[in-house]
Amino acid sequence: MHIPDTEKCDWIREKFESIQFNKPTEAQSIHTYSRLNWAHQWGAFMASKFNTMKRFGLEGCESFVPGLKACVD
């Protein structure tokens, strides 16, 4: 909303804001689920191996992993 050029604003709306309404395919849903599962298992593994060390876990941020992967792709 802070871009004065309406053509640029429309391009941003078209490319980014409409993505949330695209329904993923079954393969994409399974891939996202596998990424969520991987993130959860990785956090559990790190907690069991390094239980006495101070670390930053993924508590509540597991969905960040597939979201970041989707942005990179």
Domain ranges of the chain: 6-72
- Closest Cα partner for 42 from 65, 25, 8? 65
pLDDT per residue as tens digits for the range 40-62 = 888 888 888 887 777 666 677 77
How many CB atoms sit inside 10 A of residue 4's CB? 6
How far CA 47 is from CA of 1, 16, 33, in Å, comes to 43, 36, 21
pLDDT per residue as tens digits for the range 3-16 = 888 898 888 888 77
Query: In this model, does residue 63 exceed pLDDT 70?
Result: yes
Q: What is the pLDDT of residue 49?
A: 84
Q: What is the pLDDT of residue 27?
A: 93
Instruction: Report how far residue 50's alpha carbon sits from residue 8's, in angstroms, rounded to the nearest whole number.
Output: 48
Give the pair of three-digit tokens for residue 22. 């695209």
Task: Judge if pTM exceeds 0.85.
Answer: no
Q: What is the pLDDT of residue 19?
A: 67
